[in-house]
Structure 1
Amino acid sequence: MIEFFIAKKQMLERKKQSILSIVGVFIGITVLIVSLGVSNGLDKNMINSILSLTSHINVYSPENIPNYEELVKNIEEVKGVKGAVPTIETQGIIKYEGHGEPYVAGVKVVGYDLDKAIKVMKLDDYIIAGKIDVDDKKSILIGKELAASMGAMVGDKVKLITSEETDLEMTVGGIFQSGFYEYDLNMVLIPLQTAQYITYSDETVGRLSVRLDNPYDAQELIYDVARKLPTDLYIGTWGEQNRALLSALTLEKTIMLVVFSLIAIVAGFLIWITLNTLVREKTKDIGIMRAMGFSKKNIMLIFLIQGIILGIIGIILGIIVSLILLYYIKNYAVDLVSNIYYLKDIPIEISLKEIAIIVGANFIVILISSIFPAYRAAKLENVEALRYE
């Protein structure tokens, strides 16, 4: 194909301009893929952290819920529901005397059916010290940040004072790290029976924490769960409870993609300038080729191929380098941000579909940028081109 060889020859003749065009596309692809991968990962990590010790669907009532065990069985019949954990929440104060000044702080006290929580919420996966003793009703689980603030360790005695003015001495049975700073600093977990005792709830619970196989199915499954419940109970999803946060994350990602997409447009503009300049410089050569029998289609194809080749090289390099960068960020860059953000590692989340969309959008920009100079070259008549000096 003679058009390809002529296009290659012209690119090699103008190495600096060709390299500049390739670098522009390369930077655009790399920035978009890396930024989207990190942004998706951080968003997903934040949502997973928020959902680590809470529910995907909440079932609650202004009054406590009796006969909750039967309701749990009914809810767990719904396809897509992993399980339901009976829960009681209250506010309290934790006091630790230790070996120095007493530490006193307000905390959110959450009572879980621990057997259910271990099975449904994988609660034991968050324990970094000690263990969950489901038989010890005076065992309390505290967050990593709260333990560090108090100076408490597994086995230490703490005093829990609830809003119902119940005073109870408990033993630190374990320390958890949920990945969400507010939970790790301001939440303590106790057995459900203990929570029922200190809140005078008898054999009732405050809510049912429903966990799903996929939390993003909550809006669809909420109707199936509601059909299994009495009409006097209320129900809500985690998305409804965190609507402001999710909207902010969506807006942030949209603005980021719009801003970084400008780089792709600039890269297309560089290709347009390169080809447009080449058309002006090669006007005489175009006239000679037209005189030799090259059609307008052949001329247009030469410049179009050149733009596409420059774009494809930039796209391939961008994909390779961005995947290398994402691998490095995920595995080796955590120390750079762990002191700033509450992260154990830097999550990366990007799909082949998203990469394909980025590549496709960039290719369209490159194609459009290549068509206009190529069309301008094809429009030149052979006599007019030969007169040009």
Structure 2
Amino acid sequence: MILSPFEWTVAKRYMLPGKGEGFIALVAGISVGVVMLSVALLVVVMSVMNGFRAELLDKIVGLNGHAIIQAYGGRLDNWQDVLQDVRKTPGVVSASPLIEQPLLVTFNGRVEGVLVRGNTAQDIQRMQPNVIQGDLGGLRPDASNVAIGARLAENIGAQVGDTITVINPAGRSTPFGTVPRQVGYRVAAIFEIGVYDYDEKFVVMPIADAQTLMLTGDTIGMIEVKTQDADKVGEYLAPLARKLSGRAVVSDWRQINSSLFEALEVERVAMFFALSMIVLVAAFNILSSLVMLVRAKTRDIAIMRTMGATRRSLLKIFVTTGFTIGAVGTMAGLVLGFIILYFRQNIVEVIQRLTGQNLWDPSVRFLSTLPARADPVEIIGIASLALILSFLATLYPSLKASSTDPVQVLRYE
């Protein structure tokens, strides 16, 4: 749809209405603004939803792996052989033993329910970027040192160097009944994963210390697995799940956090369709502004027809005029959307100060900061949606303009 110099000159003239056409210019400006805001809104919302999913997956997988192999009864005997089989499975990047047990922690009279995790030295060192106080180097077997989450440290008032008491209710059996096991551990480090539940509940120690605390001997409760592709973890581990049937259950990250990720996916799809309606409203604005322009330029159209302008030329002129409004609004919307995403955390903080409300409570939102991750394919899809709807909105008024009968219009001139 290449425009001739004549067609392009007329189209540019109609894009910038002259004196006496201020109302048409106002409607066209509103159309550009609505397209801009709708595209920006779609970009921001979809990027934030993608950021939620990606950040949660990164943080959850960073601590729990892509899958967990958990023994029936909580104890996996001959786990060394199972671990070797897991590591030999195609698609598996790494596998390591893990102990995780809900216990109690007490400090200065405060008691909190926690999840005690026994990790290998390699897994503990991978947490080093998340340490905000202390050093994980002190977490050595038999050193009685632990690392705790930042929220847990706040809740019980513990700091690096303090000694907390971990209580295992399933202690040793005595003639007087079961005596809970209480062991003191020095806080060597405080970490912040960024997921509120983890920072509030986790106590990390060497796996040997966890075995001693829980009186499990040389057994473990589960094996943590990481694969080449998180989205294909079920495919990778399907043969292993069949092999371990009756001994252990294989649960991937989707199953472990199914309610959370399914809710995010449903909300993401619902938000996209809801906000797409705003783009449709913007397209109707383009249609209305173009209809007004055609009505205002009926005499001009008739004169151009009598001077030899074809129906095709008029169609191209008005399609170009309307589509340009949509294209300008789309480009402006993309720029505005990326600006909002760049300053998103500052915007949240400003709104919080103005309203006096905590809009981002990590205990509710799971994450400590507002995440965002723009998907190039999705951005292209949003821009394409806006441009297609803008183009479709130009067809009716453009066809109406091209079918104008100059004889009827000029009869009374």
- TM (norm. structure 2) is 0.86
Q: Which residue of 1 aligns with 2:304?
A: 289
**Is residue 195–residue 368 contact of structure 2 (8 Å, CA) maintained in 1?**
no
**1:216, distance to aligned residue in structure 2 (A):** 2.7
Which of 368, 381, 384 is the aligned partner of 2:392? 368
Alignment of 1:47-126 (within 5 A): 47-63=57-73, 64-97=75-108, 102-113=109-120, 115-118=121-124, 122-126=126-130
Measure, in 1, the Cα distance between the counterparts of 2:314 and 2:359.
58
Residues 1:217 and 1:9: Cα distance change in structure 2 (over 3 Å)? same
SS at match of 1:76: helix
SS at match of 2:68: strand
- 2:40 aligned with 1:30, yes or no? yes
Q: Which residue of 1 aligns with 2:285?
A: 270
Measure, in 2, the Cα distance between the counterparts of 1:270 and 1:334.
31
Which of 208, 211, 235 is the aligned partner of 2:250? 235
Alignment of 1:1-389 (within 5 A): 1=4, 2-13=6-17, 14-63=24-73, 64-97=75-108, 102-113=109-120, 115-118=121-124, 122-132=126-136, 133-137=138-142, 138-164=144-170, 165-223=180-238, 225-226=240-241, 232-329=247-344, 332-333=346-347, 335-336=349-350, 340-342=360-362, 343-387=367-411
**1:334, distance to aligned residue in structure 2 (A):** 6.4
**1:72, distance to aligned residue in structure 2 (A):** 2.3
**1:93, distance to aligned residue in structure 2 (A):** 1.4
Deviations 1:30-54 (A, max 9, x none): 1111221222212322333333422
**Is residue 271–residue 370 contact of structure 1 (8 Å, CA) maintained in 2?**
yes
Measure, in 1, the Cα distance between the counterparts of 2:104 and 2:304.
87
**1:274, distance to aligned residue in structure 2 (A):** 0.9
Q: Could you tell me which amino acid in structure 2 is paired with residue 268 of structure 1?
A: A
Q: Which moved more, 1:316-325 or 1:175-184?
A: 316-325
Measure, in 2, the Cα distance between the counterparts of 1:273 and 1:388.
27
Measure, in 2, the Cα distance between the counterparts of 1:334 and 1:19.
29
Residues 1:247 and 1:76: Cα distance change in structure 2 (over 3 Å)? same
The Cα RMSD (Å) is 2.2
**1:339, distance to aligned residue in structure 2 (A):** 7.1
Measure, in 2, the Cα distance between the counterparts of 1:3 and 1:320.
29
Measure, in 1, the Cα distance between the counterparts of 2:246 and 2:189.
39
**Is residue 89–residue 237 contact of structure 2 (8 Å, CA) maintained in 1?**
no
**Is residue 145–residue 185 contact of structure 1 (8 Å, CA) maintained in 2?**
yes
Measure, in 1, the Cα distance between the counterparts of 2:85 and 2:258.
28
Residues 1:66 and 1:303: Cα distance change in structure 2 (over 3 Å)? same
Deviations 1:1-60 (A, max 9, x none): 211211111221143232222112111111111221222212322333333422311112
**Is residue 334–residue 345 contact of structure 1 (8 Å, CA) maintained in 2?**
no
How many residue pairs end up in the alignment? 381
Q: Could you tell me which amino acid in structure 2 is paired with residue 340 of structure 1?
A: W
Q: Could you tell me which amino acid in structure 1 is paired with residue 38 of structure 2?
A: G
Q: Which moved more, 1:358-367 or 1:43-52?
A: 43-52
**1:275, distance to aligned residue in structure 2 (A):** 0.9
Deviations 1:208-236 (A, max 9, x none): 01123443332222225447757633211
**Is residue 360–residue 369 contact of structure 2 (8 Å, CA) maintained in 1?**
no
Measure, in 2, the Cα distance between the counterparts of 1:45 and 1:341.
16
Uncovered stretches (5+) of structure 2, i.e. residues with no partner:
18-23, 171-179, 353-357
**Is residue 74–residue 228 contact of structure 1 (8 Å, CA) maintained in 2?**
no
**Is residue 91–residue 163 contact of structure 1 (8 Å, CA) maintained in 2?**
no
Measure, in 2, the Cα distance between the counterparts of 1:38 and 1:160.
39
Deviations 1:57-89 (A, max 9, x none): 111221411232333233223344331221122
Deviations 1:245-264 (A, max 9, x none): 11211111122112211221
Measure, in 2, the Cα distance between the counterparts of 1:382 and 1:266.
33
Q: Which residue of 1 aligns with 2:355?
A: none
Measure, in 2, the Cα distance between the counterparts of 1:355 and 1:279.
33
Deviations 1:332-361 (A, max 9, x none): 446457873335543220122111100101
- TM (norm. structure 1) is 0.91
